[in-house]
Every structure is written in structure tokens, then in C-alpha cells.
Amino acid sequence: MSQARARLLRPALGLTGLAVLFGVWEGAVRGGWIQSGFLPAPSSLGPAWLDEVRSGAWVQAIRDSLTHYLTGLVAGSVTGTLVGLLCGALPVLDGLLSGIVRVLRPIPGLAWVPFAILWFGLNTAGATFIIAISVFWINFYAAYGAVRAIDPDLYEVAAAFGHGGFWARLRTVVLPAASPGVLDGLRTGIGQAWMSVVAAELFGVPGIGARMMQASSLLATDLVVVYMLTMALLYAVTDMLFMLVRRRLLGWQG
Amino acid sequence: MAKCETDPASTAEIVVRLENIGLSHDHGRSFILRHVDLEIRAGEFVALLGPSGVGKSTLLRVIMGLMPPSEGQVSLQSRPAQAHRPAAMVFQDAKLMPWRSVRRNVELGLEGLGLNRAERHARAMAALELVGLADRAARWPRQLSGGQRQRVGVARALTVEPDLLLMDEPFGALDAITRASLQRELLDIHARRQGTVLFVTHDLDEALLLADRIIILHGHPAGVKGDFMVGPRPREGAAVQAMAERMRRLIAGEPDPGEDAAYWQASEI
């Protein structure tokens, strides 16, 4: 009973906090503390959202952004994880790439926008490229760190029981031992990719980011907030789906 | 070097022979082990006794093939039997793989022996039965106590039916009660299995309790400084005490007083 109550307490508190925020916000706009041109009242968001849904723009923007999001996320996660795992497991490759990593790592994904436009144009591929770069580094470091943190004694155990070669070690030790770290990196990437989606679309590729820019140039701040909340919702859904998968994969961690 | 004259196991075949083993990590400038000669015969329970850090675990790794010796050679005699490994090792702190269930941990050494899934499963379960943990087969290692984890480590080694079982201070990290019960179980298993065991410990009492033969490793570089056949149980009385006193001196790096002097010293106490 008390345990069930404790489990419900946190979400209940979270919802209460949200309700208070929206209440204060609504009151501040209605009471004239904030001009509605600067910040739309929460009550105006519903109608604005319905209009956007009826025109089909909302679903279209989500569909466009999800395309960028998923392709960029998959491309960046797969390459980042693979290169990270290999660098962690192969000291020669690690050394070979260390200089390149040092030069490229501090460059944020957004700095690649000029080249994304030059190489791919103002289209899906350009936006995907930006997203993939920012996700790549997160996964690279997560996978690399996870491999480097493996207890070296486990390699010895594996070798003692006949799994001494590179591929046998990779299969019996490296991949399973690194999986929690790799999955943490994937999760961080899932969040980071949504931030990059907006950034990548702000320069004109159709999607949620582009739609927000259009709305703000028309001073339709209610629509901007609608899309902000849309992003929050999409992030919550993707993160929840991922956590379900993670829990199945990492039952051994408890 | 203290050497025992009567050697009841001398007719059994040799399972492992070390010839002039030396190990150096700096290309021969300094040695951890040097001039180690050793023969272990089938069915022997041998304790490798010496102070902490002397190189006992290192010698075990050389025998296991995890570290190539810088000098000399290890010859491990393996039965022609199918689906087994010549040597298996029980590690300090068990070192189970946390992402494998208990049963899958035991199966680790069976993978790659040409057994199918059902055969691996059956052999792992038989080994878990032997250490009394068959009911924990589906658990994760984190759900076991330290003693249970070490039992799984023993099962993992036994299931590959090794000609030589190497044990690296397997009970050193356990509390006294758990250690005592695992020692008793190990003796039971050894009595039934009649295998060959090389057991590393820095604890003279543990060596006297478990082993039929005790080898003293000492010095820098470390070498074999004593080789004792321990008589029948119970191991008490003046003769055993005298032997223990000689071993204690050898471990401490003192000169061996010799059999007679030690005997008289022990009888005076």
C-alpha cells in the first residue's frame, strides 16, 4: 500500500507542479502582468493547436521532423557506437584516430550548417547530416568509455575458458560488458537529436523547426509554444519507448 | 631445498611438468619467477604456499597458458577424451560475468567444445548440482552471496572436466564460516572426483587442511623452496607440527632448520 503510494507520489507531484506553472502563467497574462503578444496564455494554445491540426500543417511538420530525426539518429548512433567500440577495443585504431577526434570533437553540429547546405542542399539529407553529427559524438564517447571501463580480469576469465581471440573476446566480453554504457549513450542521443532537429530545420528545411520560424516571423507566438510542447511530447514518447527496450536488455543489472 | 623422501603418488602419471620456468616483464633484467621445476601427478591435491605477492598467482597463470613464460616450458598432459579442457581455473572473487545467468556462466567454458545447447545445459546443471546451486541456475550473479558466487566459479571450472584444476586463493575473500564450509565441500568433491588440483594460498592452515602435498614458493625471483608430503588426516601431533614449523620458516624466508631439529623444537612446545 505505502509502496504503491510512494510510486504514485512523484508523478502526482510532477503534475501538480505543471498545473501550478500553467495556472500562474494563465493568471499573469489575464491579469495584464504579461502582454499576450510576448507570451500567449495557455488557454489560447488549444484553439491554435486545433487550427494547425485542421490545416494539416501539424501532422506534416511532425512527419517531416520525425524523418530527419530518425534517419539522423540511426546514422549517428550506429556509426558513433561502432567507431567508439572499435577504438575502445583496438589500441592501434584508438591512437590513429586520437588526433582527428581532438580536432573534430569541439566543433558543434550547428557549425556544419554551411557545409550541410553546400553538400546536401536545403533538404532532408542536409538536416539529417547535422543531426547525425551531434548524435555521433555522444555515442562515440559513450561506447569508447564503456569499453575502456571493462574489468580487465574478465578478458582473462574469457581466455581461460577458451575465448581468447579478438572476435571471441568481442562477443563474450566487450559487447555485453559495454552494453549498459552504449545504451546510456543511445538514450542521451535520443534527447540530443530532438534539439538538433530544431537547429537543423531553422535554416529552412521543412519540419517543426521551420514551422516555428514561420510562426515567429508572423508573431504567432501561440503557435511557437504549441510546437515547443509538441517537441516535449515527442521526446517523452521516444524516451519512454527506449527505456522499455533498455529494461528488457539489461535485466541482469537489476 | 627441503624434499620429502617418501612419495606415495610417484607411480601415477604426470599431469603437469614445469621445467626451469622463468618469468620476466622487462626482457630479462629482473625476474618474478626463476628456475621453477615442478611435477604434479594425477590425483594429487597440491597447495602452492607462499607470502602474498611472491608470484604464486603468476605461476598459476603461466601454467594456465594466460602468460607465456620467458624461460623454460610447461607441459600439460591432456587425456584424449572429447569435450573437455586440459586445465581450468577458479579465480579469486569468482569473476563471474554479470550479464550471464548462473547457468550461462557455468556454460562459458563449454562453448567452443562442440557441444550442442542441450548437452551444455545438462553438463552445466550437473556441475551446479555438485556445488549445491542447481536451484539458482536462472538467477543473475548479483543475486548471489559471495560464497555462492565462488561455488559457481568452482562449477564453471569443474564442468569442463579439466585434467588440472587451478585454484587462485578462491576462498581468500570469504568470511571464516563460509570459507570453512567451502573448504569442506571442496574436499568432498575432490574425494569423489579424484582429479588433480593445484591450489594457491598464503594461509598455512588452509594448505594443511586441504592439500596432500605443499609446495613453498619464496624469494625474489621466486623459486620452489620446499616440497612437503602431508600425511594422513587428522593432521595433528608433533610430526605435523614440526613440518608446519619448517614451512612457516621457509615462508618467512628463514633457513630450514631441517627435519630433526624442527621435530625436537615442536615436541618441546
Q: Is any Cβ of chain A less than 8 angstroms from the Cβ of B255?
A: no
Transcribe B129-184 into DSSP letters: HHTT-GGGTTS-GGGS-HHHHHHHHHHHHHTT--SEEEEESTTTTS-HHHHHHHHH
- For A120-126, which contacts have Cβ atoms below 8 Å and span 24 or more sequence positions? A122/A203, A122/A204, A122/A205, A123/A205, A124/A64, A124/A67, A124/A68, A124/A71, A124/A205, A126/A200, A126/A205
Q: Would the pLDDT of B103 be above 60?
A: yes
To the nearest whole Å, the CA of A155 is away from the closest chain B CA by 10
Place of cell 539489461: A250
- Containing H/E element for A93? helix A91-104
Q: Is the pLDDT of residue A50 over 60?
A: yes
Taking Cα atoms as reference points, which of B53, B66, B71, B43 lies closest to residue B198?
B43
pLDDT of B6? 47
The span from the CA of B138 to the CA of B144, in Å, is: 11
Which segments of chain B does DSSP mark as H helices, in order? 56-64, 102-106, 117-130, 146-158, 176-193, 204-210, 238-251, 259-268
How far apart are alpha carbons B63 and B57 in whole angstroms? 10
Please name the residues between 156 and 175 in chain A that touch chain B, using a CB distance below 8 Å. Answer: 156-163, 168, 172-173
Close Cβ partners of B119 (under 8 Å, ≥ 6 residues apart)? B83, B110
Q: CB distance A162–B98 less than 8 Å?
A: no
**Of all helices (H) and strands (E), which one includes residue A140?**
helix A124-148
Q: Do A176 and B99 touch (CB under 8 A)?
A: yes
- Which of chain A's residues have a Cβ under 8 Å away from the Cβ of B86? none
**Cα dihedral angle (B175, B193, B13, B226), rounded to 10 degrees?**
20
Residue A125 CA to residue A118 CA, distance in Å, equals 11
Residue B1 in this model has a pLDDT that exceeds 70: no
Shortest CA gap A82–chain B (Å): 21
Q: What is the pLDDT of residue B38?
A: 93
| In contact, B60 and B48? CB cutoff 8 Å | yes
Which of these ranges, A101-110, A116-125, B31-40, B251-260, has the smallest mean pLDDT? B251-260
Q: Give pLDDT tens digits for A63-114.
A: 999 999 999 999 999 999 999 999 999 999 999 999 999 999 888 888 888 8
> Do residues A62 and A73 touch, judged by C-beta distance below 8 A?
no
Q: Which pLDDT value is given to residue B226?
A: 85
Q: State the Cα–Cα distance between residues B69 and B77, nearest whole angstrom.
A: 18
Contact yes or no for A226/A235 (Cβ under 8 A): no
Yes or no: say if B140 and B101 are a contact pair by the CB < 8 Å rule.
yes
Q: Which amino acid is at B34?
A: R
Quick one: which H or E segment has residue B41? strand B33-41
pLDDT reported for residue B259: 66
- Cis link prior to B170 (omega < 30° from 0)? no
Are A252 and B99 inside 8 Å of each other by CB?
yes
Of A156, A161, A173, the CB nearest to B109: A161
ipTM, interface predicted TM-score of the complex: 0.87
In terms of CA atoms, which chain B residue is nearest residue A162?
B109
Q: What pLDDT does residue B5 have? A: 45
> pLDDT tens digits, residue range B110-146?
998 989 999 999 999 999 999 999 999 999 999 999 9
Longest dimension (CA), chain B: 62
Contacts of A154 in chain B (CB under 8 A): 95, 97
Higher pLDDT: A251 or A130? It is: A130
Beta carbons of A163 and A154 less than 8 angstroms apart? no
pLDDT, tens digit, 9 for 90 and up, residues A150-192: 999 999 999 999 999 999 999 999 999 999 999 999 999 999 9
pLDDT digits (tens, 9 = 90+) for A107-127: 888 888 888 889 988 888 889
* pLDDT (0 to 100) of residue B261: 62
Tell me the average pLDDT of chain B.
88
Task: Please write the tens of the pLDDT for every residue from A183-235.
Answer: 999 999 999 999 888 888 887 889 999 999 899 888 888 999 999 999 999 99
- Choose among B89, B97, B109: nearest Cβ to A154: B97
Grid coordinates given for B220: 625474489
Is the Cβ of B91 closer than 8 Å to some Cβ of chain A? yes
Residue A33 in contact with partner chain B when CB distance is under 8 A: no
Cβ separation of A157 and B160 shorter than 8 Å? no
Peptide bond into B221 cis (omega under 30): yes
The candidate with the shortest Cα–Cα distance to B63, out of B92, B39, B82, B28, is B39
Q: Over the stretch B171-217, which tens digit does the pLDDT of each residue have? A: 988 999 999 999 999 999 999 988 999 999 999 999 999 999 999 99
Nearest CA in chain B to A150: B97
Instruction: Decide if A247 contacts A253 (C-beta within 8 A).
Output: no
Query: Which distant-in-sequence residues (6+ apart) come within 8 Å of B105 by Cβ?
Result: B96, B97, B141, B152, B156
Alpha carbon distances (Å) from A84 to A15, A138, A246, B85: 39, 10, 20, 34
- Mean pLDDT value across chain A: 91
B112–A162: do the CB atoms touch at under 8 Å?
yes
Inform me whether the pLDDT recorded for B163 exceeds 70.
yes
In chain A, residues with a C-beta closer than 8 Å to the C-beta of B109 are: 160-162
From the list A160, A179, A251, which residue is nearest B89 (CB)?
A160
Q: Is A45 in the B-facing interface, judged by CB distances under 8 Å?
A: no
CB B123 within 8 A of CB B154: no
Residue-range domain boundaries for chain B: 83-162, 236-269
Distance from CA of A2 to the nearest CA of B (A): 25
Give the pLDDT of residue A60. 94
B143: chain A residues, CB-CB within 8 Å: 254
Closest CA to B45 of B75, B1, B12: B12
Query: Please, which pLDDT band fits residue B269 given cuts at 50, 70 and 90?
Result: very low
Cβ separation of B140 and A252 shorter than 8 Å? yes
**Sign of the CA dihedral with B139 first, then B140, B141, and B145 last:** negative
Confidence check: pLDDT of B7 > 70: no
Q: What secondary structure letter does DSSP report for A109?
A: G
| In chain B, residues 103-132 whose CB comes closer than 8 Å to chain A | 108-109, 111-113
The size of chain B, in residues, is 269
Q: How many Å apart are CA B198 and CA B48, to the nearest integer?
A: 7
Sign of the dihedral defined by the CA atoms of residues A206, A208, A213, A214, in that order: positive
Pair B182, B70: CB distance under 8 Å: no
A·B CB contacts under 8 A: 60
Reference A162, options B38, B110, B94; nearest CA is B110
Q: Work out the pLDDT band at A38, boundaries 50, 70, 90.
A: confident
Q: Which residues touch A172 (CB under 8 Å, ≥6 apart)?
A: A158, A163, B97, B108, B111
Give the mean model confidence (pLDDT) for residues B2-31.
77
Interface test with B, best of A161, A169, A179 (most B CBs within 10 A): A161
